[in-house]
Amino acid sequence: MEFNWQPREVPEVSTPYRRIKTKIPAPETVPILERLRRVEPRATVSQPPIVWHRAEGFSIYDRAGNKWVDFTSGVLVANAGYKREKMYEAMLNQLETGVWHTFLFANEPRARFVEKLKEVAPPGLDVVFLLTTGSESTEHALKLMRTFGRGLGGNKKIGIVCFEGAFHGRTLGAQQIGGTPSLKEWIVNLDPDIHQAPFPDCHRCPVGKEGYAECEDECFGQFLSFLEERLGGKDYQGRLAGVITESYQGGEARFMPKGYVERLAEWCRANQILLTFDEVQAGFGRTGEFFAFQHYGVEPDLICCGKGISGCLPLSAVIGRGEIMRQFPPGALTNTHSGNPVSCAAALAHLELILEEDLVSKAQAMEAVLREEAEAIARACPDIVWPIRVRGLVGAIGLVEPNTKNPAPALAFAAVQRAVEKGLMLFAPVGPGPATIKINPPLIITEEALRDGMAALREAIVECRRELY
């Protein structure tokens, strides 16, 4: 589905956080949309047709002066918000040196940033490898897991376990460990040593149970049965190098049950199988913990970081245990833009803002507000809202056909477009359907602005439900 990008009349909006005073999209921005559509592939035309002109705090503006409260953080990048003076000064100071790129030659911002990143990482994860995108970080985690496995068990210990519904990026390896079949049809010859396990989702139980029944033992038993059946025989653990999972699945904000992850970590450790958490969209305070895997109370071997790692510019990282990260000789892990000095300067300032302003605790405190507002939407439209999931400042509201659990993508797209017309910036729907509306504001958002944005979303869903059904 695509959004309508022809300007249309919409009601004026004026609140302290939202302002709509023109047709949407604003007519003067349409030439920019048309230029992009002429030159870029259709696949990039996916988000509501608003041309971002400037941003500040948790607000987005177009050239016409319309104002949106932002529930995207870009794409979970701007955790500390937009136009932060500390980040601006850090980037400007580095730009003034003329050192804008150094390849793997040393630069001071890189040294300062990796040291700070090691400080905030859990004990034992003491080596940092900087990259550019989240996909690169998961690709390198795959490479590290397999290489380490081969060192333990030769060419037979190369299997990677991942999960249905996962998203780890759009490159070859990242899409193979991803959990959406349609995204990897182009690959054709899938790696037979990548094994996609059922995801333990208590809303959509893979073994058919209704509701959360504290059945982690049974669910994890199903995981082991799946591997035994797929790999054949009782000695299958010796053919597995690693397990990779998102700390929460981004499409629907799906967290694994804590007990399940505890059993998974114990099993990995007992069988010399590396455990990797993909924190690309989950980390840097988003869920009310610095890293989202910390909700589970386990110790991974590797974590993949991206998006919110920098707050603005392209940057990602793999952080891991020294014996895993130091497997390769000098020059074997190179990257054109690894540790870019301007990106690292921005990222260090962004990380300092998260710590100085205690944005992790703020996200944790705002969870109750977001949950209250999401539940109000569910009460307003109980026949079409399912499920709702909230953790920190991560929210997901699923929209379904009335009185079913079948995703309603037409309703979801209509609701997002209507919300944008009301001054609320949202992603296109994601997840099954796609029919899930994601809520991911900058962590600096105020309670009043969060409630104001959720009120706009509630109005949009109620109106579209009435019009479509």
| SS3 assignment for 324-381 | HHCCCCCCCCCCCCCCCHHHHHHHHHHHHHHHHCCHHHHHHHHHHHHHHHHHHHHHHC
Residues 103 and 243 in one domain: yes
In this prediction, residue 114 carries a pLDDT of: 99
| Residues in Cβ contact with 146 at an 8 Å cutoff, skipping those fewer than 6 apart | 158, 160, 241, 242
In this prediction, residue 113 carries a pLDDT of: 99
In this prediction, residue 211 carries a pLDDT of: 62
Q: Is 80 exceeded by the pLDDT of residue 215?
A: no
The percent of residues above 70 in pLDDT, for the chain, comes to 99
Domain ends where: 317, 340, 356?
356
Domain ends where: 356, 379, 395?
356
Whether 8 is in a domain gets the answer no
Query: Rounded to an integer, what distance in angstroms lies between the CA atom of residue 332 and that of residue 330?
Result: 6
Query: Rounded to an integer, what distance in angstroms lies between the CA atom of residue 258 and that of residue 51?
Result: 41
Cβ pair 150, 134 in contact under 8 A:
no
In this structure, the chain runs to a length of 469
CATH code of the domain containing 365: 3.90.1150.10
Cβ pair 450, 441 in contact under 8 A:
yes
Phi, psi of 82 (to 5 degrees): -100, 155
As given in the structure block, the two tokens for residue 437 are 């509306």
The percent of residues above 90 in pLDDT, for the chain, comes to 94
pTM of the prediction?
A: 0.97
In this prediction, residue 214 carries a pLDDT of: 62
Whether 7 is in a domain gets the answer no
In this prediction, residue 273 carries a pLDDT of: 99
What is the pLDDT confidence band of residue 89, given thresholds at 50, 70 and 90?
very high
Residues 131 and 248 in one domain: yes
Cis peptide before 330 (omega within 30 of 0): no
Whether 6 is in a domain gets the answer no
As a whole number, the mean pLDDT across the chain is: 97
Query: Rounded to an integer, what distance in angstroms lies between the CA atom of residue 225 and that of residue 320?
Result: 29
Query: Rounded to an integer, what distance in angstroms lies between the CA atom of residue 286 and that of residue 82?
Result: 15
Residues 165 and 289 in one domain: yes
As given in the structure block, the two tokens for residue 35 are 């230029």
Cβ pair 73, 441 in contact under 8 A:
yes
Q: Is 60 exceeded by the pLDDT of residue 200?
A: yes
Whether 5 is in a domain gets the answer no
Residues 59 and 171 in one domain: no
Residues 306 and 412 in one domain: no
Give the mean pLDDT of 267-291: 99
> Order of strands, edge to edge, in the sheet holding 127-131?
127-131, 316-320, 302-305, 274-278, 240-246, 159-163, 194-197
Beta 394-399 vs 424-425: how paired, if at all? unpaired
Q: What is the dihedral of CA 403, 377, 408, 61, to 10 degrees?
A: 170
What is the pLDDT confidence band of residue 141, given thresholds at 50, 70 and 90?
very high
In this prediction, residue 199 carries a pLDDT of: 96
Using DSSP's 3-state secondary structure scheme, residue 78 falls into: coil
Whether 215 is in a domain gets the answer yes
Residues 154 and 247 in one domain: yes
Residues 276 and 377 in one domain: no
As given in the structure block, the two tokens for residue 409 are 């993508």
CATH code of the domain containing 344: 3.40.640.10
Domain ends where: 309, 330, 356?
356
Residues 108 and 26 in one domain: no
**What pLDDT digit, counting tens, does each position of 98-123 carry?**
999 999 999 999 999 999 999 999 99
In this prediction, residue 212 carries a pLDDT of: 59
Structural domain of 217: 85-356
Residues 41 and 108 in one domain: no
Query: Rounded to an integer, what distance in angstroms lies between the CA atom of residue 408 and that of residue 398?
Result: 9
Whether 311 is in a domain gets the answer yes
How many structural domains is the chain composed of?
Answer: 2
Residues 369 and 220 in one domain: no
Residues 275 and 139 in one domain: yes
Using DSSP's 3-state secondary structure scheme, residue 181 falls into: helix
Residues 279 and 292 in one domain: yes
Whether 2 is in a domain gets the answer no
What is the pLDDT confidence band of residue 213, given thresholds at 50, 70 and 90?
low
